[in-house]
Amino acid sequence: MASFRQETRLHYVLVPLAAQGHLIPMIDMAHLLAGRGVCVSLVITPANATRIKPIIDRVHELDLPIQFTELAFPGAKFGLPEGCESMELIPRGFFRHFFDAVYSLSEPFELFLKNLDSAPDCIITDMSSAWTGPVARKFGIPRVIFHGPSCFYISAAHNLEIHKVYDRVSDVFEFVTVPDFPVEVEVNKAQTPGFFNFPGLEDIRKMVLEEQSTADGVVLNSFDDLEKKFIEHYERVIGKKVWTIGPTCLCNKDIDAKSSRGNKEAVDRNKVLTWLDERDAGSVLYSNFGSAAYSNQLQLIEIATGLEASKRPFILVIKKKEIVPEIEKWLSDGFEERVKDRGLILTGWAPQMVILSHPAIGGFMTHCGWNSILEAISMGVPMITWPHFADQFLNEKLVVDVLNIGISIGVKMPNLGSDVVMVRSRDVEKAVLALMEEGNEGKERRDRIRDLAHKAKMAVEEEGSSWKNLADMISYFVEYGRKIEY
Site residues (vs ligand UDP, CB under 6 A): 20-21, 24, 261-262, 288, 290-293, 317, 349-350, 352-353, 369-372, 375
Question: Exposed, middle or buried by CB within 10 Å (0-12, 13-18, 19+), for 220?
Answer: buried
Strands 11-15 and 143-147: unpaired
User: Taking the complex as a whole, how short is the minimal distance between the CB of residue 373 and ligand UDP, in angstroms?
Assistant: 7
Q: How far apart are the first and last CA of the chain?
A: 21
Distance (Å, whole) CA 349 – CA 262 = 9
**DSSP string spanning 97-110?**
HHHHHHHTTHHHHH
Phi first, then psi, for residue 243 (nearest 5°) are -105, 120
User: Taking the complex as a whole, how short is the minimal distance between the CB of residue 99 and ligand UDP, in angstroms?
Assistant: 16
Which of 30/350 has CB closer to ligand UDP? 350
Phi first, then psi, for residue 27 (nearest 5°) are -65, -40
User: Taking the complex as a whole, how short is the minimal distance between the CB of residue 86 and ligand UDP, in angstroms?
Assistant: 10
Which of 141/353 has CB closer to ligand UDP? 353
Which of 230/370 has CB closer to ligand UDP? 370
Whether residue 299 contacts residue 326, with contact meaning beta carbons closer than 8 Å, is answered with no
User: Taking the complex as a whole, how short is the minimal distance between the CB of residue 108 and ligand UDP, in angstroms?
Assistant: 25
Name, in order, each residue with C-beta under 8 angstroms of 124's C-beta and a sequence gap of 6 or more.
12, 13, 14, 15, 26, 29, 143, 144, 145, 146, 219
User: Taking the complex as a whole, how short is the minimal distance between the CB of residue 7 and ligand UDP, in angstroms?
Assistant: 35
Whether residue 272 contacts residue 400, with contact meaning beta carbons closer than 8 Å, is answered with no
Task: Count other Cβ atoms within 10 Å, centred on residue 482.
Answer: 18
Which of 87/101 has CB closer to ligand UDP? 87
Which of 353/474 has CB closer to ligand UDP? 353
User: Taking the complex as a whole, how short is the minimal distance between the CB of residue 66 and ligand UDP, in angstroms?
Assistant: 18
User: Taking the complex as a whole, how short is the minimal distance between the CB of residue 388 and ligand UDP, in angstroms?
Assistant: 8
Question: What are the residues facing 42 on neighbouring strands?
Answer: 14, 68
Between the alpha carbon of residue 40 and those of residues 12, 37, 57, 120, 420, the distances in Å are: 5, 9, 16, 9, 44
Q: Which amino acid is at 456?
A: A
Minimal CB distance residue for ligand UDP: 21
Which of 348/359 has CB closer to ligand UDP? 348
Sheet holding 39-44, edge to edge: 66-70, 39-44, 11-15, 122-126, 143-147, 217-220, 242-244
Between the alpha carbon of residue 128 and those of residues 18, 62, 80, the distances in Å are: 10, 31, 19
List strand residue ranges (DSSP E) for 281-358, in order.
284-288, 314-318, 343-347
User: Taking the complex as a whole, how short is the minimal distance between the CB of residue 229 and ligand UDP, in angstroms?
Assistant: 22
Phi first, then psi, for residue 312 (nearest 5°) are -100, 150
Which of 122/124 has CB closer to ligand UDP? 124
**DSSP string spanning 365-388?**
EE---HHHHHHHHHHT--EEE---
User: Taking the complex as a whole, how short is the minimal distance between the CB of residue 355 and ligand UDP, in angstroms?
Assistant: 9
Which of 89/350 has CB closer to ligand UDP? 350
Between the alpha carbon of residue 390 and those of residues 189, 304, 370, 416, the distances in Å are: 10, 25, 11, 10
User: Taking the complex as a whole, how short is the minimal distance between the CB of residue 426 and ligand UDP, in angstroms?
Assistant: 26
Which of 106/352 has CB closer to ligand UDP? 352
Which of 318/435 has CB closer to ligand UDP? 318
User: Taking the complex as a whole, how short is the minimal distance between the CB of residue 458 and ligand UDP, in angstroms?
Assistant: 21
Which of 24/154 has CB closer to ligand UDP? 24
Which of 109/289 has CB closer to ligand UDP? 289
CA 114 to chain centre: 31
User: Taking the complex as a whole, how short is the minimal distance between the CB of residue 87 and ligand UDP, in angstroms?
Assistant: 8
Distance (Å, whole) CA 476 – CA 437 = 48
